[in-house]
Structure 1
């Protein structure tokens, strides 16, 4: 089988021409016995490696240890090969013979061939010179020979041909590769030029946002679609993309270890000033947070002391929604230094992991900031117009009470021309009017305190954000409309019992009986007395049903309007908590930070014989060589493409969050609500949207909390190491 090589080449290396001999560092990912991926992270010249006081093996080991665990399992960071302006020994014709025992023999000028085993060392040295690899001195030459003989070593040359309009000056040209002790000079090469990912700029991802979503097929799939879905995924591609996302980090770590004693003195004063400002900012924020922490701990102690009293239990049940949102907000305020703690550098070595960790770390902050900004905006408006708002509330309450009273009086008479049962209508109307009058009298007493309630809501919004007063509004609406919910419960109880009795009597006339164990209707022989009693009870119940239904419909409409308002506020609170504000902002500024799949832009494709720079063709002399059998024509296929990404839209970023919010809502909610309205059963007053999970109450010493806040602030600030400040690890 013909060998295939895919070379992932960073675009930055093609901007300027490399030195006469540059060493390539990166990862070798093998996906099949006859194909491999070569991910080039960066190039380093020979002079820089010779100046290093540490051994190259130690530097490579340290750099590889800083990579993610998944990438270490797939491939090791190593020295891949060389890229030179021209190969050494290019004036000689290379002839290679591969025998079954793995022993290689080479000759120069196409005629000399060894006859004994005494000159094996000399022949190996001549082979290394004649294959085209650039010879170096010292430990680098030993490292190169070891890699070429046992592992993999690639030799590439600079090609002046570039890509116009893509800011690519030249493209690397494959010369040969030492593959498990064999020299391969002819194979199908695919050069993929990629822009090295950087934190805060872009990265690559092979996963789509809805890749895990399972959809029900609307039509029958063709056979070829089913076969395509049954194919094994390209698992090696995950390792390759992960390696490209780790290329910048590996370069920074390698250069930091390589030039460990290099300083940048001209930036020392600026770095000292920036460090001092960061320290002052961290101390200020930590002190302010500690004061707030002390206040919250004091309030928590008071509530814990009074939690055994009955009044505390009643208030917790009455203001349940507000209490849950206050707990969420207090936990967010207490736990912010924990969310901002810097993660392990191994997880940050990949740009994709670093981006996801940063977005997860700052999602709580963005939600908190937007919530508080909205709370300050609405709270300030309420404080300025508190009297006007109170007047509007009082007028609305009086109008609603008058409309409710007028509706009950209308139902006692002849509503819409329907003749109702006079006695029953008067009883139900009198009960409703008395309840409304009692509650309106209490509302006059409480109305004098409405100005303080509005100002309290405004202050809560300024301090805790808009979600806390919005949740308190839900509880206050439930308290203010308690008379409506009570009257609806009473009328619905009468209506539901009447409906159930009529349904049971109707089954009696049909000779059927409900079996609660098997949940079905069974035949049953009723006696004559049972039929007579059923007939006597069925007639008045049926005649009284219109009167009960009219009152039930009236109070159900009022109660549903209240529930809809509460559900609307509940959904608004959940949406405010779940909206990824930082993701939307970054998507508008730089969409390349949200990739969704990759694609290749084919730039050129050609099939030709591989020639050395001086025009001499490299060919095989052994008929036993598998490469010569797989490719009789001796032609190599070369493909050059540019790696691109698809990007998520704002809808694709936001919709998964909203699906999670409404995942707690039952699909049968509206069906059960409609059934409950028709039969007089209880209607759910909440939609059941999800809120952020509450965390355990944090209780640590004040000094430890201050130190934790300070360390968290310093962890979020950029590290200034002068020669590595181009790569900021958040």
Structure 2
């Protein structure tokens, strides 16, 4: 079988003038006995790296040890081979390198070039010292590749030079003729772009049936033609491998341009770090004092009753306290292994910055809402008072009086309607009397709510509003609870009497209806009970429907605020901002843009160029048959698809509302129709709380400052 080799080549090596000799470093990823992927991470000039020969094996071992664990298991970072200029008759085969450039190298002459070409045409050219030993080690173990440069001027793709295969040492076999696929890729860098095979809805696509066909198992057992996961991981690790290699090589970077601007930016960053650390420490002191005060009275019944009455507020306060306490801890960069791959570094960075970004956005929204409440406190207080008065007098009282008469022409039981109506009116009157005393302090509650929003963000006052709505409408929920008990018990009795007439009995152990022989007395008593209960059911149903509508409207209002709180917590603000600025940081799948292919029947080295405008591969890259297009050599460029903002945000919202489903709504509707208790909350998932953190104030200030300064180092 003809061997296939894919060379993943950095585009930067082909966009600039190449050196005469380049040593290639990267990974060999064998897929099968006839398929090989060669991932070139970077190239090093042989002359400039001659002094590292004594430490080459040590540097390669150290660089490989700093790579991702999954990559170390699949492939080893090594010296791949060399890429040289192909010379003949003392002339450079490719344009751009003259004899003067060769003489300036200090070790080459025209006669030496001719001799070198003779050695090159006969096989591998001998290297010096430990490089030759490393080459022999690579050849004896697995692989070694020899490449040449070929001129290929395509400015539209940013490619001026391409690697051309001379021969490969493939498991002890010298291979000079095989199908070659050269894939140019842009080297991934942190904060710019990387590659990923994951799709945003991969979890949905991965769901399969419990019983799969036999051909699916057989297909999964077959060895894949290429290991794209390892290849993409190696490409994402190319930059880290180059940095580790240069650090071990003693490579030093030049000083940055503009030292004055750099010093000014550093000074301003330190000022920002100290300011944010001081502000966070003030919050930290206040939170620690409040926590100590609450622990002092946690055993009293007042604390327990307050925790139940303000359960939503308490949960959001705990979340906010954990965010304030732990954001500098999360901002610390303690995962050194994540720097081995750009993909891992991006994931860690997004996770690291998600907490403080959510905290900042929540506080900013709280500042806007809090300032608006402070500026319009009196108008808001007047509107709420008028709304409470209108809903009490115009809606509830008039509604109860209407139900006590002949509502919509229905003739109800006068006595039962009078009893239920009087109970409702008395409870509404009690609430109105209490509201007169509470309403005088309501303006102070609005101001406190505004200050709370300014200091702690929007979620805590929103949760407090939910709890206050529940307390302010306690009379409605109490009346609905009493009417629902009467309504549900009446339905249960009617259902049991109906089963009595049918000769059936409910078996609670087996959860089914069984036949049962009732006596005549039981039938007579059942008939006497069934008739009045059935005639009283419309009266009870009318009152139940009225208070159910009121209670459901209140519950929907609270659920709407709960949805707002969950959306504020679940929205990935840092991802949205980065997606708007740099969409390439969020890849989702890869595709290949074919730019040229080599035909064996043609005379020119690159006979078939593919027009970019006529490529079907850009429209539907998954439909292109790569094997049909590859005859001997193929040149393509690696591209990425990118997530849209909706595709990026939707998984976070799905996770936040994972507890809400169709069955939840069906259960709620059934509970409303049958008079059962219905959950008053939506059940959305909130961020988890963490153990309480208590360290000295000075140490916490230093932790906040060092965390912000660490971000400046990451930006560098």
For the aligned pair, the TM-score class normalised by the smaller chain equals: 0.7 to 0.9
Provide the aligned C-alpha RMSD in A: 2.9
Structure 1 residue 609: deviation in Å? 9.0
Alpha carbons 1:66, 1:345 under 8 Å: kept: no
Instruction: Note the C-alpha offset of 1:410.
Output: 0.6
- Counterpart Cα distance in 2 of 1:431 and 1:290: 54
The reply on whether 1:671 has 2:666 as its aligned counterpart is yes
Residue aligned with 2:425, SS: helix
Structure 2 match to 1:76: 76
Question: Cα deviations across residues 283-332 of structure 1 (Å, max 9, x unaligned)?
Answer: 33333322321221111000000101111111110000011001000100
- Aligned residues of 1:176 and 1:184 also touching (Cα < 8 A): yes
1:66 aligns with 2:66: yes
How far the C-alpha of 1:236 sits from its partner, in A, is 2.1
Distance 1:179 1:415 in 2: 92
Equivalence map 1:110-509=2 (5 Å) = 131-214=122-205, 236-260=227-251, 264=255, 274-402=265-393, 403-509=395-501
SS in structure 2 of the partner of residue 47 of structure 1: coil
Tell me what 2:527 maps to.
535
Conserved 8 A contact 2:195-2:589: yes
Q: Is the 8 A contact 2:3 2:34 kept in 1?
A: yes
SS in 1 for 2:164: strand
Question: How far apart are residue 235 of structure 1 and its match?
Answer: 7.2
CA shift for structure 1 position 149: 4.0
Residue 511 of structure 2 corresponds to 519
Question: 1:204 and 1:308 mapped to 2: Cα distance?
Answer: 55
Change (3 A) 1:412 1:503: same
Query: Partners of 1:230 and 1:154 in 2: how far apart?
Result: 31
- 2:158 partner SS: coil
CA distance in 1, matches of 2:271, 2:54: 38
Which residue number in structure 2 is paired with residue 49 of structure 1?
A: 49
Query: Do 1:132 and 1:155's aligned partners in 2 also have CA atoms closer than 8 Å?
Result: no
Matched residue count = 666
1:100 corresponds to = none
Query: 1:231 and 1:675, CA in 2 relative to 1: closer, same or farther beyond 3 A?
Result: farther
| Contact 1:207-1:596 at 8 Å conserved across structures | yes
Query: Equivalent residue for 1:98?
Result: none
Q: Structure 1 residues 263-272 or 646-655, which shifts more? A: 263-272
Structure 2 Cα separation of the partners of residues 278 and 51 of structure 1: 40
User: 2-side partners of 1:588 and 1:642: how far apart?
Assistant: 25
Contact 2:32 2:225 in 1 (8 A): no
Q: CA deviation at 1:642?
A: 0.9
Q: State the Cα deviation string for residues 418-462 of structure 1 (Å, max 9, x = none).
A: 111111111111110000001011011101111111111111111
The question of whether the paired residues in 2 share the 8 Å contact of 1:199 and 1:355 is answered with yes
Q: Kindly report which structure 2 residues correspond to 1:557-576, keeping only aligned pairs within 5 A, or say none.
A: 557-576=549-568
Task: Report the Cα distance in structure 2 between the residues aligned to 1:348 and 1:87, rounded to whole angstroms.
Answer: 41
2:184·2:638 contact (CA, 8 Å) conserved in 1?
yes
For the pair 1:713 / 2:704, whether they are aligned, the reply is no
Query: Retained in 1: the 8 A contact 2:53–2:130?
Result: no
What is the DSSP-based 3-state SS (H/G/I as helix, E as strand, rest coil) of the residue aligned with 1:17? Answer: coil
In structure 2, do the counterparts of structure 1 residues 215 and 668 end up closer, same or farther at CA, with 3 Å as the change threshold? farther
Q: Return the alpha-carbon distance in structure 2 between the equivalents of residues 566 and 228 of structure 1.
A: 52
Distance 1:562 1:435, change over 3 A: same
Question: Which residue in 2 is equivalent to 1:23?
Answer: 23
What displacement does 1:158 show? Answer: 0.8
In the aligned structure 2, how far is the partner of 1:138 from the partner of 1:334? 57
Residue in structure 2 matched with residue 655 of structure 1 by the alignment: 650
How far off its partner does 1:53 sit? Answer: 8.3
CA contact (8 A) 1:578 1:657 kept: yes
CA distance in 2, matches of 1:415, 1:276: 76
| Secondary structure in 2 matching 1:169 | strand
In the aligned structure 2, how far is the partner of 1:342 from the partner of 1:381?
38
Deviation of the 1:611 alpha carbon: 11
In structure 2, the residue matched to 1:687 is 682
Q: Does the CA-based 8 Å contact 2:54-2:130 persist in structure 1?
A: no
Cα contact 2:83–2:148 (8 A) shared by 1: yes
TM-superposed CA distance for 1:552, in Å, is 0.7
**Partner Cα separation in structure 2 for residue 647 and residue 408 of structure 1:** 59
Give unmatched runs, 5+ long, in structure 2: 92-115, 606-629
TM-superposed deviation, 1:274: 4.6
Q: How far apart, CA to CA, are the structure 1 residues paired with 2:219 and 2:576? A: 35
Partners of 2:27 and 2:38 within 8 A in 1: yes
Moved more, 76-85 or 44-53: 44-53
| 1:88 Cα offset (Å) | 8.7
- Which structure's residues are more often helix, by fraction? 2
In structure 2, what is the equivalent of residue 548 of structure 1?
540
- Provide the rounded CA distance (Å) in 1 between the counterparts of 2:666 and 2:439: 38
Q: Give how far 1:666 is off.
A: 4.6
Indicate the SS of the match to 2:657.
helix
Gaps of 5+ in 1: 92-124, 614-634, 720-727
Q: Map Cα deviations across residues 150-200 of structure 1 (whole Å, 9 max, x no partner).
A: 442211111012335212112111111123333211111110111111111
Q: Distance in 2 between matches of 1:232 and 1:399?
A: 74
CA distance, structure 2, for counterparts of residue 367 and residue 407 of structure 1: 45
**C-alpha contact 2:35 2:226 (8 A) present in aligned 1:** no
Q: Deviations over 1:200-259 (max 9, x none)?
A: 1111111212222258899x9999999867766677211110111111222222223324
Partner Cα separation in structure 1 for residue 256 and residue 498 of structure 2: 96
Give SS of 2:666's match: helix
Aligned pair in 2 of structure 1 residues 669, 328: CA closer, same or farther (>3 Å)? same
C-alpha distance in structure 2 between counterparts of 1:388 and 1:270, whole Å: 50
Deviating more after overlay: 254-263 vs 421-430: 254-263
What is the CA–CA distance in structure 2 between the aligned matches of 1:575 and 1:213, rounded to whole Å?
22
**Contact 2:569–2:687 (CA under 8 A) maintained in structure 1:** yes
CA contact (8 A) 1:14 1:168 kept: yes
Aligned counterpart in structure 2 of residue 596 of structure 1, from 588, 594, 601:
588
Within 5 Å, give how 1:617-632 maps onto structure 2.
none
* More displaced 10-residue stretch of structure 1: 435-444 or 257-266: 257-266
Residue 233 of structure 2 aligns to a residue whose secondary structure is helix
Cα distance in 2 for residues equivalent to 1:232 and 1:362: 40
